[in-house]
């Protein structure tokens, strides 16, 4: 099963660009192992966020707050360090 097929299971009609975005930006690929389940879950989270017009944190996939692409926890951790 290809990444595109997995993403299309979660997001019917997804194109190659969306599948690549989810694979590269929402999973540990290419530095970590990506299972079919992890890819499906990432695509499903992305679909739900888009449906509710929410932004997801670039680091942890929690809901991003304000104008940034970070959740409060990640923003705080990055500002401390």
Q: How many structural domains comprise the chain? A: 1
pLDDT at 12: 96
CB 57 within 8 A of CB 63: yes
Q: Report pLDDT digits (tens) over 35-81.
A: 999 999 999 999 999 999 999 998 888 889 877 789 999 888 988 86
What token pair was written down for 15? 């194109």
pTM of the model: 0.83
Please tell me which residue, 76 or 7, carries the higher pLDDT value. 7
Per the structure, the complete domain to which residue 18 belongs is given by 3-80
> What value does the mean pLDDT take over residues 5-34?
94
């Amino acid at each position: 099963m290809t990444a595109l097929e997995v993403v299309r299971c979660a997001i019917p009609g997804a194109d190659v660009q969306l599948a690549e975005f989810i694979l590269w930006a929402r999973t540990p690929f290419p530095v970590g192992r990506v299972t079919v389940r992890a890819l499906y879950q990432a695509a499903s989270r992305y679909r739900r966020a888009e449906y509710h017009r929410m932004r997801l944190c670039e680091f942890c996939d929690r809901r991003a707050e304000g104008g940034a692409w970070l959740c409060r926890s990640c923003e705080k951790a990055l500002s401390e360090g």
